[in-house]
Amino acid sequence: MTRGIVFDLDDTLYLERDYVRSGFTYVANLVATSAVGMRELTAWLWLAFEDGVRRDTFDRLLAAYPELAGRVTPAQLVDAYRSHPPSISLLPGVSELLGWLRDRSYRLGVLSDGLLVSQQAKADALRLDEWFDPVLFTASRQEAFLKPGTLGFEWIATKWGLPNAELAYIADNPLKDFVGPRKLGWLTIRLRTPGQLRFALEPAGDGDEPDVEVADAASLLDYLR
């Protein structure tokens, strides 16, 4: 019987592309001028993202708009993006799911990789502390806590005082999310819903596969019932 459920954050509790759009809007508003408006810059950034641009987005932005390059650097834009207060919300049905679980005394936690300042800003925007204890960001611990390792999962199991057989992890990325908890004997559930950045990603091998796959929070609630 499952008594404790740990969730990933990005593309599990909310859509990661919403965070990206929020960050782009923030940066565009920061650097917009009378000649180059916020909407134009946001549209440029989003089109680049949709075209698959990732690591050098702001370098490309300043190359495309050299009139901005004298005002800011790519590094400053990266810092602004990472630390901005995001405009994001829980995926449809997640609040109902969490309420149902809490009413039945499930232990609820979060375990997520990612840059600490960004993850904490997301947690604040989503008010995760109202639902989850603990909210464990692996970047706040030693490197061994990173997925696909098991240390973060073991730490939560110990904190809760629950055996591995009574724990579950819900996440989205089959390349790293399920390896650790599967090794420990946790139930692993993939939330695979349209709009996720890794929606089309398939497991690389047997060890990466989740035990269960669901399409949305409502389906997850049906499964848990």
Mind listing the pLDDT tens digit for each residue in 23-45?
999 999 999 998 899 999 999 99
Q: What is the pLDDT of residues 91-143, one digit of tens each?
A: 999 999 999 999 999 999 999 999 999 999 999 999 999 999 999 999 999 99
Q: Which residues contact 218 (CB under 8 A, 6 or more apart)?
A: 93, 97
Quote the pLDDT of residue 120.
98
The first and second tokens of residue 215, run together, are 């399409």
Query: Running DSSP on this structure, what letter comes out for residue 131?
Result: T
Is pTM beyond 0.85? Reply is yes
Does residue 207 register a pLDDT over 80?
Answer: no
Q: How far is Cα 36 from Cα 45, in angstroms, rounded to an integer?
A: 13
So what's the pLDDT on residue 85?
A: 98
Buried-exposed string 71-104: b where 16+ CB fall within 10 A, e elsewhere: ebebeebbebbeebebebebbeebeebbeebeee
- pLDDT of 16 > 90? The answer is yes
Q: What is the mean pLDDT of the chain?
A: 96
Q: Tell me if 45 sits within 8 A of 17, measured CB to CB.
A: no
Q: Which pLDDT does position 206 carry in this prediction?
A: 75
